[in-house]
Amino acid sequence: MNFRRSVMRCKGEEGQTIILAALAMGIFLIGAVGLAIDGAHLYAQRQMAQAAADAAAQAGIMSIFDNTYNIAGNLAGFSTSGPFTCGSTGTSTPCAYAIRNGFGSASDTVTVSFPPASAAPGVTLSTFYPVNLIQVTIQRQVNTTLMRLLGPTASTIQVTAIAAIVDVLAPVPILVTHPTYPYTFAIGGTPSITICGGPSKSIQVNSNNSFAARRAASSSGTATVNLTHAGPPDPGNCTTGTGASFGVWGGPTSPFYTFLFGSTGRYLQPASPMNDPLAGVAPPPVPTTLGTQTPLANGVSGCPAAPVKACVLYTPGLYPNGINGKLQTVVFEPGIYYVQNGGVTCNALCDMYMATGYTDTITGTGWTGNIMIYNTGVGSFNLSANANISLVGAPANSQYLGILLFEDRYAAANTGTNAHSLGGGGAMMLQGTIYLTNTLAIMNADPTQYQALQLQGGSGSGTTIQGEIIVGTLSMGGTGTITMDLNNNALNVQEVALVE
239-258 pLDDT per residue, tens: 888 998 999 999 999 988 88
Q: What is the pLDDT of residue 153?
A: 75
Q: What is the pLDDT of residue 460?
A: 41
DSSP codes of every residue in 44-58: HHHHHHHHHHHHHHH
Q: What is the pLDDT of residue 75?
A: 83
The arithmetic mean of pLDDT across residues 114-140, rounded, is 90
Phi/psi at 273 (5° precision)? -60, 150
The distance from CA 234 to its chain's CA centroid, rounded to whole angstroms, is 20
C-alpha to C-alpha distance for 231 and 266, rounded to whole angstroms = 12
Could you give the dihedral angle defined by the CA atoms of residues 402, 405, 408 and 409, in that order, rounded to the nearest 10 degrees? -60
Q: What is the pLDDT of residue 169?
A: 62
**Would you say residue 282 has pLDDT above 60?**
yes
Q: What is the pLDDT of residue 384?
A: 77
Q: What is the pLDDT of residue 41?
A: 78
Chain-wide mean pLDDT for the chain? 85
327: left (phi over 0), alpha (psi -120 to 50) or beta: left
C-alpha to C-alpha distance for 349 and 424, rounded to whole angstroms = 12
Q: Are 424 and 459 in contact (CB under 8 A)?
A: no
Q: What is the pLDDT of residue 266?
A: 93
**Would you say residue 438 has pLDDT above 90?**
yes
Q: What is the pLDDT of residues 88-101, one digit of tens each?
A: 888 899 999 999 99
The arithmetic mean of pLDDT across residues 362-387, rounded, is 92
Confidence of residue 459 (pLDDT cuts 50, 70, 90): very low
C-alpha to C-alpha distance for 312 and 105, rounded to whole angstroms = 78
Q: What percent of the chain has pLDDT over 70?
A: 84
Q: What is the pLDDT of residue 87?
A: 87
Q: What is the pLDDT of residue 129?
A: 83
Q: What percent of the chain has pLDDT over 90?
A: 50
Higher pLDDT, 491 or 160: 160
Confidence of residue 396 (pLDDT cuts 50, 70, 90): confident
Statement: the pTM of the whole predicted model exceeds 0.85: no
**Would you say residue 207 has pLDDT above 60?**
yes
